[in-house]
Amino acid sequence: MNKITEMLPDLYQGRKPTFRIENEGCQMNSLQTESIAAIMEQIGYEKISSEEADAVIYNTCTVRENANLKIYGHLGHLKSIKKKNPHMKIILFGCMMQEPHVVETIQKKYPFVNLVFGTHNIHKFPELYYRTLTSDSQIIDIWKESDEIIEGMPTSRKYPFKTGVNVMFGCNNFCSYCIVPYVRGREKSREPQAIINEIKALVEDGVTEVMLLGQNVNSYGKTLAEPVSFAQLLTEVEKIEGLKRIRFMTSHPKDLSDELIEAMAKSKKVCHHLHLPLQSGSSRILQKMNRRYDKEKYLGLVEKIRTAIPDISLTTDIIVGFPGETEEDFQETLDVVRKSEYDTAFTFIYSKRTGTPAASMPDQIPEDVVKERFNRLLTLVQENGRKASSRFTGDVKEILVEEESKEKGMLTGRTEHNLLVHFEGTPDLIGQYVQVKLDTCKGFYYFGHIV
């Protein structure tokens, strides 16, 4: 890094160089984006929001085709900007770059991209960036897999008071539609002590809310030399003084244990919010998706959780139009949505990902059929979500104040259920916990006042 810092005055004639970084995809990507941003700042670059920067960096996602198309769209646009400023460095990294056909396309069609790396060698960024600055050729460095977990990467948090913390990387589940296991590699858990130490340091630095992140946190710790369960990890994290809220994501229904439900119910810090991806309500489709649970098991879990934690906020992910999905299958999904009373459901149109088993399944569903189902699902999800989210009207809840809202004099924060609340207040309250009466529910958010 020092070598780069020393080069900058010559390279940019004494002015402070700039970079722009954009994140696509999930919260785990956001953390890596923050690391790269922190490295750029440490090197001596200033972060700006314009694309007319000395370095433009994209952390890419490939979970659905749209994400890929967006990147190719950005590249088309960057080509014209780079014509005016040939010294600009364009850098792509992350999940989409782990796909060989993407790298081939970039080599052939986008030779003006300077650096491409993947998900397994982010810690090599300073070295790769140094090579980028000292060479005119396109640098591509993709690792197929890595057993290593790199601790201690720099970070620059968006909020001083809350952040995500990785507890594990990769995924072993191979849901038949999903590209993640191919681009993120096998499941690897961080040592509990490394996680605890990181959170302790974050708390000392002003963090009071953490989101523990993994593709499937319920299988956390199974592959460690001394196995630890996710519930045990939560109990340890709970002991950290000064930490007020613990969230986690994502839970796979097949691995959601009674031990975890019990740990959540007992805890004073774990938020009463559970993201439990359904994907489909049809047992037949769930089997083809390789999800390893069926409709009854899922509904049984929902019941168990609601019994243990009656005010739990449930959210989910649903895919519409998986190959072979019939109207009857789709009706099963609607049925689960009606019964599960989700606060929010993230709905996705099935996207064919090259290399996954579902991509070569017969009976891919025509676009018009999928769109029509998708719209019906969205209407139901929104209706139910409004109903479920409004259940706290009139209650007083503790809110972590996050930011000023667009309206002047108003603040925005969240309840432990992850519901957004707008209320009057002054910016000095940002990062604080306040008691707010939830006066009116406007669909998915509340207006309230501090009491």
CB 234 within 8 A of CB 275: no
From the list ligand 5AD, ligand SF4, none, pick the one residue 319 interacts with, judged by a Cβ distance below 5 to 8 Å according to partner type. ligand 5AD
Please identify, using beta-carbon distances, which residue of 194 and 349 lies nearer to ligand 5AD. Answer: 349
Rounded Cα distance, 166 and 31, in Å: 8
Single-letter amino acid code for the residue at 436? V
CB 217 within 8 A of CB 257: no
* Site size toward ligand SF4, by CB under 6 A: 10
Does 330 interact with ligand 5AD (rule: CB under 6 A)?
no
Does 342 interact with ligand 5AD (rule: CB under 6 A)?
no
Rounded Cα distance, 356 and 316, in Å: 22
Q: Which stretch binds ligand SF4 (CB under 6 A): 49-57, 137-145, 177-185, 442-450?
A: 177-185
Site string for ligand SF4, 195-234 (x = CB under 6 A): --------------------xx------------------
Rounded Cα distance, 214 and 164, in Å: 10
**Residue 274, CA distances (Å) to 189, 261, 302, 319, 432 in order:** 21, 10, 10, 18, 23
CB under 8 Å to 380, separation ≥6 — which residues? 334, 337, 338
Give the helix, strand, coil percentages of the chain, each rounded to 5.
40, 20, 40
Rounded Cα distance, 340 and 381, in Å: 11
CB of 215 to ligand SF4, least distance (A): 4
From the list ligand 5AD, ligand SF4, none, pick the one residue 122 interacts with, judged by a Cβ distance below 5 to 8 Å according to partner type. none
Provide the token pair at 218. 């319920």
Burial class (CB in 10 A: 0-12, 13-18, 19+), 235: middle
How many other C-beta atoms lie within 10 A of the C-beta of residue 374? Answer: 19
Query: What are the phi and psi torsion angles at 141 (to 5°)?
Result: -140, 95
Does 61 interact with ligand SF4 (rule: CB under 6 A)?
no
Q: Which stretch binds ligand 5AD (CB under 6 A): 52-60, 238-246, 348-356, 388-396?
A: 348-356
Task: Candidates 21, 37, 63, 165: give the one binding ligand 5AD (CB under 6 A).
Answer: 63
Q: Please report the DSSP string for 247-264 in residue order.
A: EEE---GGG--HHHHHHH
Does 317 interact with ligand 5AD (rule: CB under 6 A)?
yes
N- to C-terminal Cα distance for the chain? 50
Site string for ligand 5AD, 352-391 (x = CB under 6 A): -x--------------------------------------
Query: What are the phi and psi torsion angles at 249 (to 5°)?
Result: -165, 140
- Residues numbered 146 to 205 that lie near ligand 5AD (CB under 6 A) are 177-178
Residue nearest to ligand 5AD as judged by C-beta position: 317
- Residues numbered 234 to 273 that lie near ligand SF4 (CB under 6 A) are 252
Please identify, using beta-carbon distances, which residue of 208 and 344 lies nearer to ligand SF4. Answer: 344
Q: Which stretch binds ligand SF4 (CB under 6 A): 125-133, 170-178, 331-339, 391-399?
A: 170-178
Chain residues in the site for ligand SF4 (CB under 6 A):
171, 173-175, 178, 180-181, 215-216, 252
Residues lying near ligand 5AD in the complex (CB under 6 A) are found at 63-64, 177-178, 277, 279, 317, 319, 348, 350-351, 353
